[in-house]
Structure 1
Amino acid sequence: MSLTQTLCLLVLPSLLNALSYNYEDYADSYYNQISDTEQQGAGTTSSPCGSRDQTRWDKLFIMLEDSHMRQNMILEACEEQMNRLREEVQSKPCMSTSPEEYCTALDQRLDRRLEAVIAEVKQVANKLQEQCSSSLQHLENFTGLQTGRLEKLENGYLGQVMMKTQQETNGGKLEQALMTTVSDLQKVHTQLAALQRVAAHRYLPSGCEMALLFPMRSKHSFAEAMVSPSLTGLSVCLWVRVTEALDRTMLFSYSSERNPQEFQLLLNRNTLTFSISEELAAVQAHGAGSAGQWRHYCALWGSEGGVASLWVDGQQVSSLSAVARGHRLPEGGAVLLGQEKSSSGMYRDMDPTVAFTGKLTAVNMWSYPLHPDKIKKLANQDGACDERGDVIGWGVSEIIPHGGVQYIN
């Protein structure tokens, strides 16, 4: 065998080992680099479509392309070396005493060596194929993991969107229901206000079942009651619902044969006034008049001390002393409700401007000043209408209406 043939046979395995060693180092180091990078990023949650994952996949595909290219280079180098050896062997004659046998042995030896080289190349190729398959499997696993993360993220996002949509839908329904409820409540409030107006128009305080209605302002519209005894003290209490009060709107007037204005309780617009025996000093309570509302008024007087007081809705609002001290109201007087007696004593001479319009109920008169607790009890709108005066008792004494005045329930 020539020196060239021997060198070729010796160099070829070394060349193959060098090529396979470099590739294995390259593949192992590159695969380990991808594994280490993935282990470092495994602890953090990132988007499956991030730039780092795209870089890993690009590197892995580049490695696979390089492996195929290197495999082709190895096969081409082996084939080139084999062709050179064949040409060299064919160009130089075998140096032997029996050339045919020597050449046959040499061919067999060369074939065995070539078979060994081919087997080694196949082994390297198989190992490379296994590494490629492992890398592909790892890539598939990694892709599946990232796909699962992507699905979780998509499902979570879709769940949040659906929850938000449902909340918005529920919020819209709730807002619509609240608006409907508010509208219904407003309608109910309007209806209640109307019912309250109707009830206030028909309502009689203190549990009374009837009232005197004064429908119009006229000198002929009044109610009359007779008083027999003489009085050195008195209390007059009544419930009043005035339609409109003018400068002098008469509520209660007591007259005698000598004096048509012995005792008067009247409204001056919104001021309640109490006078007795034409005294210059009169007891007044400002702001006591309220058109269209039921108010409870009481006027008290005692001859001994001349103390006169006004009570509105169960509370004392005004008081004076030395009013008509020692005076006595004569017997046989007359009480007019909603009007006052004229100076001539004739009904035809009454003044229509002092006439009362509205309603009166629970009109009572006592021959003494009442106790404050009794006044508070009478002023209770939800109380009983069974308290009656000893001079005029509501529902007991005869009170005669005139000129359109009538009793109502």
Structure 2
Amino acid sequence: MQATKNVISWRLFLFYCLFLESSSQDFGGQTQFICTSVPKDMDICAATLQNSVPGEDLKTTVMQLRETVLQQKETIMNQKETIRELTSKLARCESQSGAEPGDARPGGRRKEAGTKNTMGDISRGPADTLAQLSQTLQSLKQRLENLEDLLQSKIDDLEKQVLSRVNSIEEVKPGQRNETEQRGRVESTLTSLHQRITDLEKGQRENRPLDKFQLTFPLRTNYMYAKVKKSLPEMYALTVCMWLKSNASPGVGTPFSYAVPGQANELVLIEWGNNPMEILINDKVAKLPFLINDGKWHHICVTWTTRDGVWEAFQDGVRRGSGENLAPYHPIKPQGLLILGQEQDTLGGGFDATQAFVGDLANFHIWDRKLSIGEIYNLATCSSKAQVGNVFAWMETSLDIYGGASKWTFEACRQLN
């Protein structure tokens, strides 16, 4: 029986190694044996299934093998128990029959023919019993040999199925390689096209003047913005002008905000919610009579002086409103941060998507003086006499752009025609 057990274990181990070798050939190219740690009470086929099963067909095949092995193992264990019991009874019968002919063991009695024997058979003698047990043993041995042959045949069949599946997988590999190569060619083509587009955009930027561009903020987010590289100086008067285009509703958001340490709303232009556009200086507010969210380009300017806080608002070269007492006698402080497209709740941060600017912005300029009505009209009509800001002038090299805001070629005079 030990030999039978060894044969079965050897067959299972051989199949396990064959399966691992086939899997190795499928995924590598060089054959190697893999040593896998298996828990003491775990079946080797179950361990094989957990560690290396290339596909549902292999999984089904190994499960069938595992089920067959378990069934045959249980049958063999039952037969072993029966043989052990019969062998024990045969030994007792042989010892008793050997003492019968004239043996008078102390305290023993002679066993008469026809009396009930150890096996419970009252019609047969010891010789008949021994012959029957011998026949039973031979029958059981024959059955075990038949079971071994059946199990081996099943293992061979399953091995053939597994090898067939592995071969079919290997046949599919060329198609997979072709698909991979095709995908690689497509990705290479896309990369080449992207590089060509980048080169064209680079050439376009190199060929255009540095001030002929616009910033586009397509979405209302808290991460799209542009940052002016230098701070503003201390100012006792100012003029801020720009071109804007937006159809955002409600409100176009915040075209720009300037924050300084201790004051996030030092200088802000905002149209938020259903409120009109407002200019904030040192957190003081003036409502501006601008109507610009019609999807068209508009030129707007705001002037202010610290004396009495006088301000004026111009749209498309025409004065639309004015007032006073806007942060009077408060100079614009230096050492701040100027952001385009977002409203700052803290210095350089605290952006709120609901207050973000959505649309296009161009030709943003700042002066440290109040421009005249004629100068503002020249800016709005693209006159050759128009000036650029002496505090901040609109240049690509003056800005850092973040979050997906984009730059495009822009010429204000062409937009007006």
**TM-score w.r.t. length of structure 1:** 0.45
**TM-score w.r.t. length of structure 2:** 0.45
- Larger proportion of helix: 1
